[in-house]
Amino acid sequence: MSKTIFQKIADREIPAKIEHEDEHCLVVHDIQPQAPVHLLIVPKKVVPRVGDATPADQALLGHLLLIAGMVARKLELRQGFRLVINHGPHACESVPHLHIHLLGQRQMSWPPG
């Protein structure tokens, strides 16, 4: 199985603008932003999709959400932000490696999609 683009970014095989990194995840700027702030919170452990996560991934999933909040505070997204996780082709998933989109600095609409 070949590496995902996120694995290649974590391994520094592909450049990316990294906003945050720790032992569990990376936060990178999306190369096709859909909002003035559009970051991807990516676990270093490959979990193909959120629906493929297991009970052993519980702490990692919680960590990703805590990092999302930390980064949103750092970027002063006081008016709000949106977190999005896509799962599968009908959700427009483009990379089979769990990641959370953090979008902000514009008014979001509802329903999404």
Residue 37 lies in a domain: no
Range of the domain at 82: 5-28+45-104
For residue 28, what are the β-bridge partners? 18, 40
Backbone angles phi, psi at 86, to 5 degrees: -95, 145
Q: What's the confidence (pLDDT) of residue 8?
A: 96
99 is an active site residue: yes
pLDDT of residue 112: 79
The per-residue pLDDT for range 1-44, each reduced to its tens digit, is 689 999 999 999 999 999 999 999 999 999 999 999 999 999 99
* Residue tagged active-site, from 38, 97, 99, 101: 99
If one compares 92 and 56, the residue with the highest pLDDT of the two is 56
The DSSP-derived string for 15-51 is ---EEEE-SSEEEEE-SS-SSSEEEEEEESS--S-GG
CATH of the domain at 84: 3.30.428.10
Tokens 């193909």 appear where? 48
Within-domain flag for 35: no
Render pLDDT for 37-87 as a digit per residue (tens, 0 to 9): 999 999 999 999 999 999 999 999 999 999 999 999 999 999 999 999 999
pLDDT at 92: 86
Looking at the 3D structure of the chain, how many domains does it have? Answer: 1
Query: Is 95 inside a domain boundary?
Result: yes
